[in-house]
Amino acid sequence: MRDLPSLNALRAFEAAARHMSFQDAAQELEVTPTAISHQVKNLEQHLGLALFIRRNPRPLMLTAAGQQLYPVLRDGFDRFAFAIAHLQTDQIVTELTVTAINDFASKWLLPRLPKFQAAYPDIDIRLQTSVDVIDLKIGTVDMAIRYGHGNYPGLVAIKLLSDAFIPVCSPLLQQQSLDSLDDLVHHTLIHCEWVNYSGNDQPSWAKWLQQAGIKTIDPTRGLKFTGESLAIQAALNGQGVALCSNIHAADDLAKGRLIQPFDIELQGFSFYAVYLPEHPKQKAITNFVDWLEKIAHS
C-alpha cells in the first residue's frame, strides 16, 4: 500500500512552487491563500520536512527538499493532464461526410459500413450520394470516392478498386436456355445509361456484343435505366440480362442471387478515395481510407 500524502496537499504545493506565491496558487485552484498555506503545512508535517523558506517580506523560496519534490510533481501533473486530454479527445465523435455515386454507395459501400463502425465507433460516416463531382475545397464534404482515371490535381488520391462490365442475370434465366452466346437473342437486354461516362468511354451492349463477335442481336433493344442499381434489380427479378460493373454486382454474385453467364467483359475505370491534403479531419479520413483499402483487397 502506498504511503502518500493527500492529493490536495500535493496540488497546493505544486501550484505554490510553480507560482512562488500562495496568492496566485489560491487563484488558480479557486481556494483561499489560507487554504493553500494549510495544505502545504499538512504536506510538510507528513514528510517531516520544510518545503518553503518563509521570510517576510521576502518572496517564497524552496528548500532543498522542495527543489527536489517540485519537478517530480510538476512532471507528474503534466502527464496526468496530457493523458486525460488525450482520453477525452479520443472519445469525441468525428462526423465524416463522404460523397460517392449512388450505385457504389448502395451496392458496395453501404453493406460494408457496419464493419467500419464496429472498428471505429468514434467516427460517424455521413454518406452523401451524387452524380456530380463536388468541389472538396467548398467544405461541404470531407472526402469523396470518385470513379475515373485517377487524375485529381491538388487532391490526395488512393486507388481502391478497378472494375469491369459483365453480363449478369438471375440463375432462373440459365435454366431457360442461356447456355451459349447465341441464346442471348431470346432474352431481354437490360441497359444502363451511366451518367459518369461520356462519349465513347461509356460501356454498352453494342461494345460487348462486338467484342463477343455477335452480329445477330440488336444492341439497342431491351429495358433501359438511368441507374445501375435499377438495372441490377431488374436482373435479380429475372427480367433479362444486365450489363453492369462487377464491383456493383459483387455481393449478389457471391451469394448466388446473380450469375455471370459469359466470361467476356469490358474494362472499366477505377474507384479512388480522394481528399484535400492536411485536412482538419486528417486522422478520421486516414482511418477511413486505410479501412477502405483493406476491405477492398480482402
> CATH code at 49?
1.10.10.10
Cα Rg for the chain, rounded, in angstroms?
Answer: 34
Query: Mean of the pLDDT values across residues 221-238?
Result: 94
Does 193 map to a domain?
yes
Task: Kindly state the average pLDDT of the residues 87-98.
Answer: 73
Cα angle 227-146-249, degrees, rounded to a multiple of 5: 45
Residue 278 lies in a domain: yes
For residue 167, the domain's CATH number is 3.40.190.290
Evaluate the CA torsion angle 189, 195, 199, 202 in order and state its sign: negative
Same domain, 55 and 134: no
Q: Is the dihedral of CA 227, 232, 238, 243 positive or negative?
A: positive
- In DSSP terms, which residues pair with 146 in a beta bridge? 272
The model's pLDDT over 113-153, given as tens digits with 9 standing for 90+, comes to 999 999 999 999 999 998 888 889 888 899 999 998 899 99
pLDDT in tens, 162-217: 999 999 999 988 777 888 898 999 999 999 987 666 667 789 999 999 999 999 99
The pLDDT value given to residue 86: 57
> Mean pLDDT, to the nearest integer, of 6-25?
89
- Picking from 46, 74, 91, the residue at the C-terminal end of a domain is 91
* Backbone dihedral angles phi then psi of residue 247, each to the nearest 5 degrees: -70, -45
Determine contact, residues 96/142, Cβ cutoff 8 Å. Answer: yes
This prediction's pTM: 0.68
Q: In terms of domains, do 176 and 280 share one?
A: yes
Q: What's the mean pLDDT when you consider all of the chain? A: 90
Pick 201 or 88 by higher pLDDT: 201
- Quickly state the pLDDT bin for 80 (edges 50, 70, 90): confident
Is 1 within the bounds of a domain? no
Q: Domain range spanning residue 19?
A: 7-91
Question: Which among 70, 91, 112 is the end of a domain?
Answer: 91
Same domain, 22 and 147: no
Q: Which of 33, 57, 91 is the last residue of a domain?
A: 91
The sign one gets for the Cα dihedral 247, 251, 252, 254 is positive
Total domains present in the chain: 2
Note whether residue 2 is domain-resident.
Answer: no
For residue 269, being part of any structural domain is answered with yes
Q: Are residues 218 and 165 in the same domain?
A: yes
Instruction: Choose among 196, 213, 209, 232: nearest CA to 99.
Output: 196
Q: Do residues 163 and 247 make contact, with C-beta atoms less than 8 angstroms apart?
A: yes
